[in-house]
Amino acid sequence: MRIDKYASDWRLENEEKDGKIKTVTVYRGEHHHFTDPAAAASYRLKAALAVMVLIVTAIGSVFLKIDTFRTWYSNMPFYISMFFLLFLSDSVNRFIKAEDGMIIREDADKIYSRYMIDSFMGLLFVCASFIGCIAAVITKKTMAASDWGFIALVLVHIVVYVYLIVHKDCVKIETNSKKDN
């Protein structure tokens, strides 16, 4: 099972405090660090703002009365991209909290790989939604302002996902050369 994947990185140790022995878990696995710590430090706020823009615009789109959004080929890909946005937000949250040189293996695995997969898949489904919006525009005789607003919102999502993918090197992680035991 995947639950045991990181179990070997943790050890139980006895700690004496105030005459009492207490068993605590201590991380003894490999620590990781960012490939470019300066770029990672400067990119943290930008990544958080990019994900916040995605979340706010996705939630805001639900409250708009959009005719184009009633077609399944424009709304289904957009809603599917929300699943990837959820995992991307977890990856960016771990990235923001990470201390360079002290990143545990579980976080290292989930930061870079999830960041890349979820950014790419989110972009893929938002592009599919954009194609659905264009198809809806072609088949409709008239377009309301809210329809153009949704198309603009989808374009914002595309731009933000491309921005996240372009800056993938800022979240790249390597294993430290020494192992702490």
Is 136 a member of any domain? yes
Report whether 170 contacts 36 (CB < 8 A). Answer: yes
Report whether 29 contacts 10 (CB < 8 A). Answer: yes
Report whether 150 contacts 60 (CB < 8 A). Answer: no
Q: Over the stretch 85-102, which tens digit does the pLDDT of each residue have?
A: 999 999 999 999 988 778
Report whether 57 contacts 157 (CB < 8 A). Answer: yes
Is 65 a member of any domain? yes
Name the residue type at position 177. S
Q: Over the stretch 29-85, which tens digit does the pLDDT of each residue have?
A: 888 889 888 899 899 999 999 999 999 988 887 777 666 667 788 888 988 999 999
Is 1 a member of any domain? no
Q: pTM score, two decimals? A: 0.81
Distance set, CA 43 to CA 12, 40, 61 (Å): 36, 5, 27
Domain that holds residue 90: 33-175
- Give me 126's structure tokens: 């938002």
- For the chain, what is the domain count? 1
Is 71 a member of any domain? yes
Q: Cα(72)–Cα(118) distance, rounded to whole angstroms? A: 22
